[in-house]
Every structure is written in structure tokens, then in C-alpha cells.
Structure 1
Amino acid sequence: MARPSEDPQQALAGLLGLGSQSQRKSHYPELQARLEELEAERNRYKWLFENAVHGIFQASLTQGLLAANPALARMLGYAAPQEVLWSLSDLARELFVGGGDELLTIREALQARGGLYGYETQLRRRDGRHITVVMNLLLKPDEPGLFEGFVADITERKLAQLRLQQLNDELEQRVAARTEELREARDAAQEANRSKDRFLAAASHDLLQPLNAARLLIATLGERSLPSAEAQLVERTQQALDGAEELLADLLDVSRLEQRAVQADPADHRLAELFAPLASEFQPVAEAAGLRLRVRLPELAVRTDLRLASRILRNLLSNACRYTWKGGVLLAARRRGGHVRIEVWDSGRGIPQDQLQVIFQEFKQLESGRGVGLGLAIVERIACILGCRVQVRSRLGRGSCFAFELPLTQMPERPAVALPQVQLGDPLPGRRLLVIDNEQSILDSMDALLSQWGCDVLVARGLDEALAALQGRAPDALLIDYHLDDGVVGCDVVEALRRRFDPQLPVVMITADRSERCQSAAQRKAIPLLNKPLKPGKLRAVLSQLLG
């Protein structure tokens, strides 16, 4: 440190290390080394500045761009950095697409926060094109009003994002268009199915009417004493009609089940309500085949749709009678926990083990020429609607057992239904029966069949003709079609005749309509419903039960 007595210039020189030649010489190596370090550092930053991939600049909040690297110039389409050193007014005009308002926003943000990070904006190139960039702007704390910026061109990325968004939009539009096409195709297919169903319903009604008339006439012939040759022809004609009827009815049922047009309507029923009509129907069928039909009926009640459960058992009993040559058929039920297991046994030839599941497929026949192979397919579909599964066990040469389970329930308040008993005598001769149908061929064939059974038959095409034929005297029973002329429904005619003659007038509804509406209408009025083509044996059993 300089002494007070020393000359001030000498003291200053001493502080700077320049006081004497010897002192200056002693400090030269250190200064030279420091200068070289500073030069190397400057060159390194200069190299980084000039060769950086991204644009770098220094700017003043009051003067504009002070320095820029070549990358920024190339990014903006200029040959040298000096060409982009714009003033503030030039920046607003030449560079920023947002103009002066954007510069003001940047300035306020820098002054408020000291920096902007990830700031995305658009810049104007020399050729007039716009590019999208992202900037990091940092206000220098040691030099007020100065800030440095780092710029990355993200135009390609933005274009890629935009293209990706366009592709996504196009894909969504294509998916929406394809979905609409599929929806239209689905709607067209559904409409085609509905049209098919309407056609089948209309065609079935028109086909079943002449089939019904033919069956009744053939049955009338079959009950007469004919020479053997004619009797054989009648029998073969009956078999042909049976096959045509079965195929048509099964095709209609499969179509309705496939379209889910059948819905379950479960209720509590005594088991006798399910077994009694079936026993009455199949007792003469079994006898005609030389078989014995046995029924084991415990005092139990089940919760089910009575009509659908009856259809399952009807198909199973029909198959049992068809495929059994000797012995018998058993319809039985037993309690099994919270369910009732219903079984149909036969003493037929049995089913091979590898065919036990195949038999439930459509048009699958184990023996050619016996049926059309739809009965068990219908059984399986109805079982699914009822929420149960049909099980089968079989032994070759011994027979088969088909079974399904229904929920056990409390006994309903309704009185029990008795199983059919053997009638003492025939209750039909002398009975006065009224037949109402809008098809003259049906009226003629019903007249022939019922007259052959000894009944006094009156026929009519509607309510007015029926009242004229009755002449104020009630019939013993009414046999009526569901669909009559001019949109009249058979149930309405039944109500009119019951009001006029007897509220308990026995009625049998006979129709080719297998719809839910028709079945529900008959069920609500407790009217037995028989489908066309009508089986004479079944009609006789129902009439005998009503009039016996």
C-alpha cells in the first residue's frame, strides 16, 4: 500500500502494479494468462453463438435487436445477422405477425416476471411466409432493459400436428360415415326381417287355411269305413299334410324366436295346469302309436310362462311319441331344492352320446324322413327365454330322458286342475255347436267333421249370421276364428254371444294367428286356443273336456 508521503501518481501506479519497470515485469505473465483465458472464453461463446442450431439474439426494450446469430438470420430467410437487427418499430413491422400489440405484451411480461418461457408466436420471413416459433426470453438482471432470446422453429411440428389433427378428423368423419352406412344397412336388414315376418305371417295365414280345411276333410274320410286301398290313400294324404303343417309351423316359430318376438310372462301356476292339457292332447296320440302315456303329478307349483313351458313339453312329448315304437312315454316332475325338475321319458332306441348336443341344431335329424329337425331347436330357444337349460340323457336301445327345471313357488289360490279321465261314453253326439269362420272351406270341412261325430252343427261367417242361425237358442259350445271379416276380432263376438245367452258359454278359439297378441287375448278370457291346421283328435279332446 502507498505511503502518505509518496507522490499520488506513484501511489496509483503502485496500486496498478505499474509503479516501476521491475514491478510491471513481475505482473506481465499473470496478465497475459488472464487475457488468454478471457480470449478463449470469448471465442468459445462466439463459436456457440455463431454455430447454434436455434436462433439467439440480444435486444433492448427501447432500441430493438442489438445482436443475432446466423441461425436466426437463416430461420428468417436472410443471408447475414446484420440484416435482422431491426429497431422496435421495424420489429413490429418486419418480424412479429402480431405487430406492436404483441411487442407490448412481451415487454409487460418481461418487466413483470423477468422472463417468458415456452412463448409460442408467429414470425414473418423475408419472403412473406409465416413460421411458428417458440421462444425463451430472459431479462438480464445486471443490465437493465436488455434481454436475451432463444428461438426454435416449430413450423414443421405444427404442420405435422395440424396434419395429424386433419387425419384424425378425416378418420372420425370416415368412421362416422361408415357407422352411418352400417346403421343404414342394419336398419335395412331389420326392415327386411320385419318385412319377412309380415310376409310369413300373411303367407302362413293363407297357407294354413286350406291346409286346415284339407286336414279336417281327410280326418272325416279317415273315420269312415273305406276299402283298404282308399283307406291307405287317406292315411298317406294325412301323413303328407302332417309334414307340411309341421314344417310350416316350425319355420314360423323359429322366425319369431330369432327375431326375439317372443317374451316370457311368468306367473305362479299349479303343475296340474301345465300337465293336464298336455295329457289330454297326447293320450290319443300315444294310443294311436301303440304306446302308453303315464303322468306323475306331484302337488307342486311353479313360476313360469305357462304357454312357453307348454310348448317345450309339447315338442318333447311329440318327439317321444314319434321316435318310440314300443313301451311308453312318461311325463313326470319332482322337487329338487328350490326348483321343480320336469322330465319326459321314452323307451325308444336312444341317442348316441356324440349326438346329444347336435340334436338341438336346426334341421338336424338322426333319422331321415321323420320330422323336419326343428322341434328341439325351438325347445332350446324357448328354454333360453325362460332362463333354464334342457338336459338330455340317453342309452342306446333303452330310451331317452329330456329334462328342465322351473322355479318352485307357493300354491296359487286358484283351484287345482284335474288330469283328464277316461270319459264314460262320448259327450259329443247330439250337442249343438256353432262354428264361426270367414272361410267357407273351413265351415264346410268343420260341418262335415263335427256332423260325423254326431253333433248338430250351425255355421256362420259373422255375428249377424250366427244370431240368425241360432234363432234365439244358445249353442252348447262355440268354435270361432280369431280374425273375421272387416277387421272383426273373434273375442268381441264371443263377448256379444255370452252377454246374449250365457256368460259361461264354452268357447274354443281356432286360428292360424300365432302372435303374442292373439294368444294373450284368448288367455285373458280363459278361452282354449287351438292353431290351424287343426288336429281333429286335439279338437275332440278339448270339446270332450268342455262338454263332459
Structure 2
Amino acid sequence: MAMPPTSTDVEPSLRQAMDHIPQGIAIFDAALRLVTSNTRYRDLLTLPDMLVQSGTPLFDIALFLGTRGDLGSGDPVRLAIERVNVLTAVAATVTQRLGGAGQTLEFHSSRLPDGGLVVSFADVTDRVRAERELERMNLSLEGRVEERTASLTRVNSELEVARAKADAANHDKTRFLAAASHDLLQPLNAARLYTSTLIERAKSTSLAELANSIEASLTAVEDIMGALLDISRIDSGALKPVPGPVNAQDLLRKIEVEFGPMARERSIALKIVASDATVLVDRALIGRIVQNLVSNAIKYTAPGGKVLVGLRRRGNRMRLDVIDTGIGFNKDQHKLLFAEFSRLERGARMAQGLGLGLSIVQRLVTALGLTLELDSAEGVGSRFSLFLPVTRALRPALEVGPVASETNFGTLNLKILCVDNERAILEAMQGLLTHWGCDVRTALSLKQIDRERLLEGWYPDLVLMDYHLDQTSGLDAIEWLRHNVGGHLPAALVTADRSAAVRALAEDRGVAVVTKPVKPAALRAAISGLAGQRVPMGKKLA
């Protein structure tokens, strides 16, 4: 039987090289007896010299470590056998255990082709400590992520609740604004009607100037209220654009009706250029924009000046221009023009106001997704240009009769039924219409019409109907009247509700809309238009 090689058989150079390796290394023969080992092997395991001699069985080394307690608690013999089995059971193993000094040792064992065994190991305490710290940090990070996720989930939930509350508040605000616009504008409407009658009757008297001053004050109040309500509606999202095909000429005709008297009173030449274009817009909101632009143009143009309103095709869009020869402004003042409650010094000297008109214009243009351009020269004039999408032409609208340019133009000689749930408004309306030469009957409700038989032997040429009645809507009341006195009855809805929905409902039923507070010129124009729709007496029942 061949004797195992001794340490003297190992090349000195090889042993010297092994001693320079930082890991402990030991080589065992097929009988698991030590062939050679390096100094690091002895030092890391803290072995006595006798156990690092060539020929020392692996079991003896394991038994020494087990007896010393390096392999854990228990029977040293059993622990030694288990340790040897772990190192030799398979071709290669990687194991870790604590060393005698509490350090972590990592062992790599490999079986040699001749059955021998190579064992190497190293002190991996620092690496294990770093791995455990990294694991702890990962766990801590996961905990923080979970905590942050929970926090974000809670915040998102709170934001959702806050958003729901904000939406509810906006809806409440919208309902409040609708009620406020009606309740606040109702008495103002009555005052405007009374004042209009007073102005016409006070002409050429000492009260004329007083009446005109009252009218100017009421107009200022109406403008302020209308502007503030419009801004609140836009900012709260209550204004929802409803685009549809609109004859541009209808918009221009309305401008002529509303601002013609104002321009003539100020000796300003207001020119409206006719157009056969059809644009795709929200009629009510575009009308509001153009009203504000034209109103500003007239306000800030000196007597003898000119204001031009018209449309020009620019590519696939129409450019609506409002051009004036007014005070103008320089480029540095552009942003100031659209700021709330901001007015240029020269403009403030020319006309009263809060500086809200162009702020509303900018908000509406943004809400509609349109483009507004402006060009101006100080002391020369200004051009505001609104670009509108074009759509296919509509059938030409029927003309509704001549437009009265002044509130004291002739007599109307019409039979008019007025229905409103405010007695003061009825009295004021009756006074104004009677002064215009109309035969007027008034009622607070349909029940009063039926109870007092107001329509027996008296067929109205047209009806002026409030929208918010006590027991029904004005549109339903008009339908009832048409059913009972004739389907050809021309009608106008006189209302403080300026929403696009009400206007759309009225248009669907062939009913004109006059907004409160009622401007006498606009009312007279509407009445003249409705009078043109009358059916001759002999054809009413045809």
C-alpha cells in the first residue's frame, strides 16, 4: 500500500505560492488525509501544528473543531461526521459557518478526479455584514415605499374627496348664480323699463337730464352685474360651449340693432359689412364676445369717429374684425388691456367702467378654443380680429321686418300680451308699450289669463313671456297660448336667464329671446321683428 506523500514531497515553490493566497487552502488525498495546506488555513481555523501535518485525517480536524464548539452544540463525534459528509457528499459545495472568533467563514469544497478533496475558505464577515446591511436597507426602503404608497393613496383619496366637494361647490355656485342673476336682474329690469318711459315722457322738460342720469346709472349697474356674473360662470365651468352653424349675418344684424342707437347718440358712424358666411360657433358666447368688442370700440372712439364690423375669409376660417378710429394703445399695454379691473388712463377719462369687458373676452376666447388678434396704434385706432371656423351654408334666414333705430320712432299700434310673475315689471312694461301706441294686457300667470278671460274678444298680435313663472316655464306657457288662441302667435321670451340651454330651447320652438334688463331699443327691435311674422286676421284659423 502506497504511503501518502509528505510535505517534503511538495515543491517548496508551490507551498510558498500557497502561503501568499489570502484564502485558506487544504488538499486531501482519496483517503481524506491531509496532503498539504497553507499558513492561512491553519491561522483561520486556529489549528495546532499537529493537525496540519501531512497525513492528518480530515475527520480528526473536524473532531477537534467539533470538540472546541466551532461546529455548534451537540456530540462532537456526530458533528464531525456531519461536517465531513457535507464537504464530501457531492462534487462541489459552498457552505458557511461561524469561526471560533465569531467571524463568518465561507467554505468551497471540490472532489478531485482521483477521489481527493480540495477545501478552500475565507473570512467573509465584512461581505456578509454588508449583505445583511443591504438587506436591512432594502427592507427599510420597501417599508418606506409601502408607507409612501399608503400616504399617496391616502392623499389621493383626500384629493378625490376635495375634488368632489369642489365640484359640488361649483354646481352650487352655478345654481346660486342662476338664481342670483334672475333675482337681481328682475328689479333692475323693472327700473330700466320705468326709466325708459320716464325718459320719453320727460323730453323737452326740466326732468329730462335727471331721467337720463338715472338711465346711465342703471346701465352701469347692469354692466357691472353682467360682467361679474359672466366671469363667475366662466371660472366655475358653468359655461359649456355648444357649437353649431350660425349665419354670420344674424350676428351682424344683432350688433346693428343693439349698438346702432348708442353709436348715433355719440355721433359715431357704425358700419356693418354684410356677409353670407356660415360659421361653426356657440351663438350665445360668440355674441357676447362681439358685443364686448363693439361696445368697447364705441366707448373709446371720440364723436365723429368710425367703427367698422365685418368678416373676411382667411384660408379655411373667417376673420371677424372690429375696427375703430378710437384712442388706441401701444404694444406695451397689451397685457394690461386684458387684466381684470385694469383700464388705460385715457380710456378711464373717456368712459365709465370697471375694466372687465376684455377680461371676459379673453376668458371666452380661451373657453371656445379660438384665436384673437389685436393691432393698434396709439391715437389712431384699433383692430380686434376673431378667427372663426367655417361650415357649410345654412338656408337664408327669413327677414323679420324693419328694425327701429330709436326708441321714440313712431307708434307700433299692436296688441301685446305680457306675462311675468313680477307685478312691478308688468306695470313698467305696460307703461312703456302703451307710450309706444300698443294695446297691452298683462297677467301674472296662465291661471289669471284663464280666470279673468283676458283673451275673450281680444286676439294678441304677439306675446312677451317671462321664462321663470311660478308654476310653469315661459316656453310651456307659450305653447299653451298657441294651442288655445292659434299656432301662429309670435312670441318672445323675456328672461334674465342668459344660458345657452334656454336660448337653444327657445330657438327650437321658434321663440325669440330678449334678455333682462331689457334695453328699449332691443325690445322695440324684437317687437318689430315679431310683428312681421303676424298672420292676417282672416288667415288665423286657416
TM-score by length of 1: 0.76
Among 349, 353, 364, the alignment partner of 2:342 is 364
Cα drift, residue 214 of structure 1: 1.0
Deviations 1:156-188 (A, max 9, x none): 322221111112212222222333333334444
Cα drift, residue 137 of structure 1: 5.6
Q: Are 1:48 and 2:26 an aligned pair?
A: no
Q: Are 1:158 and 2:129 an aligned pair?
A: no
Determine what percentage of the aligned residue pairs are the same residue.
Answer: 32
Cα drift, residue 265 of structure 1: 2.3
Which runs of structure 2 are paired with 1:131-530 in the superposition (5 Å)? 138-142=109-113, 143=115, 153=128, 154-225=131-202, 229-326=206-303, 327-366=305-344, 367-368=347-348, 370-415=352-397, 429-467=412-450, 468-471=453-456, 473-486=458-471, 488-530=472-514
Distance 1:423 1:248, change over 3 A: closer
Distance 1:423 1:39, change over 3 A: closer
Which runs of structure 2 are paired with 1:23-62 in the superposition (5 Å)? 34=10, 36-37=12-13, 40=16, 43=19, 45=24, 46-49=38-41
Which runs of structure 2 are paired with 1:86-125 in the superposition (5 Å)? 111=90, 114-115=91-92
Q: Is the 8 A contact 1:270 1:416 kept in 2?
A: no
Equivalent-residue separation in structure 1 for 2:255 and 2:356 (angstroms): 20
Q: Is the 8 A contact 2:330 2:376 kept in 1?
A: yes
Read off the aligned partner of 2:466 and give its amino acid letter: D
Read off the aligned partner of 2:419 and give its amino acid letter: I
Q: Tell me, what secondary structure is at the counterpart of 1:544?
A: helix
Equivalent-residue separation in structure 2 for 1:427 and 1:520 (angstroms): 33
Deviations 1:195-251 (A, max 9, x none): 333333322221111111111111111111367553222222211111111111111
Q: Are 1:85 and 2:67 an aligned pair?
A: no
Equivalent-residue separation in structure 1 for 2:293 and 2:137 (angstroms): 68
Cα drift, residue 483 of structure 1: 1.0
Distance 1:384 1:185, change over 3 A: same
Moved more, 431-440 or 144-153: 144-153
Distance 1:462 1:32, change over 3 A: same
Gaps of at least 5 residues in structure 1 are 1-11, 17-30, 54-62, 74-79, 94-99
Cα drift, residue 501 of structure 1: 2.0
Gaps of at least 5 residues in structure 2 are 25-37, 46-57, 533-542
How many residues get paired? 483
Cα drift, residue 329 of structure 1: 1.8
Equivalent-residue separation in structure 2 for 1:245 and 1:91 (angstroms): 107
Q: Tell me, what secondary structure is at the counterpart of 1:361?
A: coil
Equivalent-residue separation in structure 2 for 1:490 and 1:167 (angstroms): 63
Distance 1:194 1:422, change over 3 A: closer
Q: Is the 8 A contact 1:427 1:547 kept in 2?
A: no
Read off the aligned partner of 2:328 and give its amino acid letter: G
Equivalent-residue separation in structure 2 for 1:538 and 1:372 (angstroms): 24
Q: Is the 8 A contact 2:70 2:98 kept in 1?
A: no
Equivalent-residue separation in structure 2 for 1:509 and 1:319 (angstroms): 27
Equivalent-residue separation in structure 2 for 1:440 and 1:65 (angstroms): 119
Cα drift, residue 318 of structure 1: 1.2
TM-score by length of 2: 0.77
Equivalent-residue separation in structure 2 for 1:297 and 1:184 (angstroms): 52
Cα drift, residue 384 of structure 1: 2.4
Distance 1:147 1:526, change over 3 A: farther
Q: Is the 8 A contact 2:257 2:525 kept in 1?
A: yes
Q: Is the 8 A contact 1:272 1:419 kept in 2?
A: no
Cα drift, residue 124 of structure 1: 10
Distance 1:356 1:144, change over 3 A: same
Equivalent-residue separation in structure 2 for 1:248 and 1:441 (angstroms): 20
Moved more, 284-293 or 438-447: 284-293
Q: Tell me, what secondary structure is at the counterpart of 1:485?
A: coil
Q: State the superposition RMSD in angstroms.
A: 4.1
Q: Is the 8 A contact 2:185 2:517 kept in 1?
A: yes
Equivalent-residue separation in structure 2 for 1:395 and 1:239 (angstroms): 30
